[in-house]
Structure 1
Amino acid sequence: MSRRLAVPAALTLSLALATSAAAAPKTVTKVRTGPSGEAFYAPPSPLPGKKHGDLIWARTLTGAAVASGASSTKVVLYRSQGVDGKADAVSGIVSIPKGKAPKKGWPIITYAHGTTGIADQCAPSRDVAGTLVHPFNAYILPLISRWLKAGYAVVRTDYEGLGTPGVHPYLIGNSEGRATLDIARAARELDPRLSKTTIISGHSQGGHAALFAAALAPKWTPELKLRGTVAFAPASHLDDQIPLTSILTTPGGGLSGLIADIGRGILTANPSFDLTALLSDQANALFGQVEAQCLPELSAPTSFGGLSPKAIFKDGADLAPLAKLLDVQDPSHLKIKTPLLIDQGSADTTVLPLFTDQLAGEMTKNGNKDLTYTKYTGVDHAGIVTAAAKDATAWIAKRLK
């Protein structure tokens, strides 16, 4: 699963929306220009809009988060629904292809990002070159550029609480899935040249999010015409893995950082769960860093990375209640009826191929009759996005014909 205070370098915005009668909604509303800097991520009160996916405001984005090949890139703030069931604001990025929109509008790829962390500065739309978390965001940009060149609008959610108020519910499926779908709605309000035809994609944490979005889409955003989902190395079966990691006795580095983020995510969705009772004194002393640091810092020897997975938990701690909560968030339970492509690297040591093998089989049993599972020999976790880019793009193009 992939990746200070970073503020988008966006300073000006002039929203001149070119409309296409074939793609435009009946009513085009004026888009409010959001404030610059960190203030962009602080939503007005009361929250504007009436339904999830309503656009709050937007602003031109420049800097490290911008993928080449776009005619325009905006950072947006839009309504979604929080893990507590209440309306909240989520940020993200909308990139529009160059050239003239097709008659029916540009198809949308809504992309869910891999792990960056839980702290606000870890949000992809806040990315700044030279920070430790930057590589955890930048590796996806060539794929985004490929899709823009192919004539697809690409939207990228930051997820709930990542950059915006509140704590990010890390690997909480419904929260991630709703944010991934709602930004497609917001993007169509921002630019009416975008069509309803949609592809969902994501890597690692984002692969997990993409699967939940695909399962939610028929009821959550029924107007979107979902043509398929591409999940690169999706996180799964954490209920099996977390108890297993507790036998590892050497410093865990990134693995220990991920365990800390996973614990905070579960706590966000289940505030009454007594996680502190399971954590060791060392882990409890470090736990405040989870909301202040991105994954690279959490993975350092001075933070959770200096603890072995075993040392994160108290000796003899009963992890069964934690595993049960993790199982609730597992994509293996989802029923997805639309086409699905899962790509996995055989040399992945973060999302282990064994569990993705199992996931693909389970999703087929759940009724997905149009599932393609492809493994790439010798490819590691981050590398799957590059290794599978050409094939995945061809798969998308076929579903968008």
Structure 2
Amino acid sequence: MTLRVRVSVFSILLLLASLAVSVGATPARAVTAGDVVSARPTTVYLLPGKLLEVPVNAWHVLYRSTSATGALNTVSGTVLVPKASYALGKRPIVGYATGTHGLGDQCAPSASMREGREAELAFVSLLLLKGFAVAVTDYEGLGTPGTHTYMAGVSQGHAVLDSIRAAVRVPGSGLSAAAPVAVMGYSQGGASAGWAAQLQPSYAPELRLKGAAAGGVPADLRAVAAHLEGGPDFGLAAAAGVGLDAAYPELDLEADLNERGRALMADAADDCVGDLDKLAGLRFSDLSPVDLLNQPKWQARLIENRLGTLTPRVPVFLYHGRGDQIIPYAVGQTLRSEYCQAGVNTRWVSLPAPDHVTGAVEGGPLAVEWLTLRLLGLPAFGNC
């Protein structure tokens, strides 16, 4: 078939479609954030080797969300619903935001849950045992085409909120759009939960959000990056640079890197979090001849992605380990102070945890119990 014939056929089809609409055919509904692209049953395991299957109905979903710059995108995730009926009204839904998994698609939470290597299923299971449904986003670009927009808070907040919307729209989930909902996360997930709470009033006002629990929150990316430079966890700061560059193309990170920086970033582009140790001890000056963090284009986006500039309208539970070596304790304290000053009903818990991971272990069960009370309709009492 020649190009001219192809064009002619295409034109006829367009004409027929327009005639159908003109005689009263119902046009297709516009695609919106939270729409389900596909949902297929999946199985989730607690241990590798397909051991200890989690006894839930689960779906791997592709759903519509919104990028940091406002474009419609497609994100993947997992929806888990307990098999037992829920006797206390409409089953609550928790948008669970995982911590850092890495940049490669194989690192996505949906993949690790299917393969029995998802550590955060321990916290997800606590929510499932309460009878709650849980929607776990993979975030933009993790498990789907494109680069993961790691630490682009606006994108991550959208992905969390839209995972809840999508959970309701999964055929057979039995979930209600009028259900009470909550969001929870730690580290990257803490930032994502915080952003979901901040964005919900304008982005997803129909969701009946009752509370947000956020731990080990990297609220100020610039302060965290300065802390990580030259240290054993510098790879996390470098990965955040890759993620923000993916979210905001005008940053054009590759153009500002030196030869070594381009090679290292290309090598890290498909790494999981444990592989980022290869960047330990480096500084941004080792990767670029320019002062990246002080460039106006980077400063603008870092400020835009700083938590605390918007006000959640629901109670917030913040927790942070005093010995956190990755996210400075002072960063968490500042977020608490800013929320309190803005009038947010904030509950702050200072944990004795000697490191970042222990902070998740100590604070996760406390966050689950706090969220449970909010989902059951009990009032929250802050400690500002």
The answer to whether TM tops 0.5 is: yes
Q: Give CA-to-partner distance per residue, 1:245-274, whole Å, 9 cap, x none.
A: 44x3xxx44x22112211112212221224
Secondary structure of the residue that 1:210 maps to in structure 2?
A: helix
How far apart in 2 are the matches of 1:84 and 1:204?
A: 23
How far apart in 2 are the matches of 1:145 and 1:240?
A: 33
How far apart in 1 are the matches of 2:35 and 2:214?
A: 26
Q: Give CA-to-partner distance per residue, 1:174-206, whole Å, 9 cap, x none.
A: 111111011111111122334521011111011
**Alignment partner of 1:232 out of 199, 212, 215:** 215
- CA apart distance, 1:228: 0.2
**Alignment partner of 1:214 out of 184, 197, 207:** 197
> What corresponds to 1:118 in structure 2?
103
1:83-162 correspondence to structure 2 within 5 Å:
83-102=68-87, 104-127=89-112, 134=117, 138-162=118-142
1:275 aligns with 2:253: yes
> What corresponds to 1:357 in structure 2?
333
> What corresponds to 1:27 in structure 2?
none
Pair 70,105 (structure 1): closer, same or farther in 2 beyond 3 Å = farther
How far apart in 2 are the matches of 1:181 and 1:316?
A: 37
Pair 352,235 (structure 1): closer, same or farther in 2 beyond 3 Å = same
Q: Give CA-to-partner distance per residue, 1:20-57, whole Å, 9 cap, x none.
A: xxxxxxxxxxxxxxxxxxxxxxxxxxx99621101121
Secondary structure of the residue that 1:319 maps to in structure 2?
A: helix
The answer to whether the Cα contact below 8 Å between 2:44 and 2:115 also exists between their aligned partners in 1 is no
- CA apart distance, 1:341: 0.2
How far apart in 1 are the matches of 2:332 and 2:60?
A: 33
How far apart in 1 are the matches of 2:74 and 2:29?
A: 9
> What corresponds to 1:329 in structure 2?
305
Please provide the CA RMSD for this pair: 2.5
Q: Give CA-to-partner distance per residue, 1:305-342, whole Å, 9 cap, x none.
A: 3x522553446736312344222211121211210001
Q: Which moved more, 1:323-332 or 1:145-154?
A: 323-332
Q: TM-score, normalised by structure 1?
A: 0.78
- CA apart distance, 1:71: 2.4
Alignment-mate amino acid for residue 372 of structure 1: R
Pair 244,109 (structure 1): closer, same or farther in 2 beyond 3 Å = closer
Q: Which moved more, 1:380-389 or 1:180-189?
A: 380-389
Pair 185,243 (structure 1): closer, same or farther in 2 beyond 3 Å = same
- CA apart distance, 1:155: 0.9
> What corresponds to 1:295 in structure 2?
273
Alignment-mate amino acid for residue 286 of structure 1: L
Pair 318,69 (structure 1): closer, same or farther in 2 beyond 3 Å = closer
Pair 240,278 (structure 1): closer, same or farther in 2 beyond 3 Å = farther
How far apart in 2 are the matches of 1:265 and 1:283?
A: 15
How far apart in 1 are the matches of 2:30 and 2:74?
A: 10
The answer to whether the Cα contact below 8 Å between 1:236 and 1:356 also exists between their aligned partners in 2 is yes
The structure carrying a bigger helix percent of its residues is 2
Pair 282,65 (structure 1): closer, same or farther in 2 beyond 3 Å = farther
How far apart in 1 are the matches of 2:55 and 2:200?
A: 26
How far apart in 2 are the matches of 1:48 and 1:243?
A: 47
Structure 2: gaps spanning 5 or more residues: 1-27, 377-384
**Alignment partner of 1:265 out of 243, 250, 260:** 243
The answer to whether the Cα contact below 8 Å between 2:79 and 2:136 also exists between their aligned partners in 1 is yes
1:317 aligns with 2:288: no
Pair 169,310 (structure 1): closer, same or farther in 2 beyond 3 Å = closer
Alignment-mate amino acid for residue 74 of structure 2: A
The structure with the largest alpha-carbon Rg is 2
The answer to whether the Cα contact below 8 Å between 2:63 and 2:163 also exists between their aligned partners in 1 is yes
How far apart in 2 are the matches of 1:160 and 1:130?
A: 21
Alignment-mate amino acid for residue 90 of structure 1: V
Alignment-mate amino acid for residue 124 of structure 1: P
The answer to whether the Cα contact below 8 Å between 1:347 and 1:381 also exists between their aligned partners in 2 is yes
How far apart in 2 are the matches of 1:276 and 1:186?
A: 35
Pair 217,193 (structure 1): closer, same or farther in 2 beyond 3 Å = same
How far apart in 1 are the matches of 2:319 and 2:227?
A: 24
> What corresponds to 1:193 in structure 2?
175
> What corresponds to 1:256 in structure 2?
234
How far apart in 2 are the matches of 1:311 and 1:257?
A: 14
State the identity as a percent.
Answer: 31
Structure 1: gaps spanning 5 or more residues: 1-46
**Alignment partner of 1:168 out of 148, 151, 154:** 148
> What corresponds to 1:76 in structure 2?
61
Q: Which moved more, 1:101-110 or 1:62-71?
A: 62-71
1:174-189 correspondence to structure 2 within 5 Å:
174-189=154-169
Alignment-mate amino acid for residue 163 of structure 1: G
Q: Give CA-to-partner distance per residue, 1:368-399, whole Å, 9 cap, x none.
A: 1x101101113421222321233222211221
- CA apart distance, 1:82: 2.4
How far apart in 2 are the matches of 1:316 and 1:397?
A: 48
Secondary structure of the residue that 1:284 maps to in structure 2?
A: helix
Alignment-mate amino acid for residue 197 of structure 1: P
Q: Which moved more, 1:317-326 or 1:333-342?
A: 317-326
Q: TM-score, normalised by structure 2?
A: 0.81
Pair 212,310 (structure 1): closer, same or farther in 2 beyond 3 Å = closer
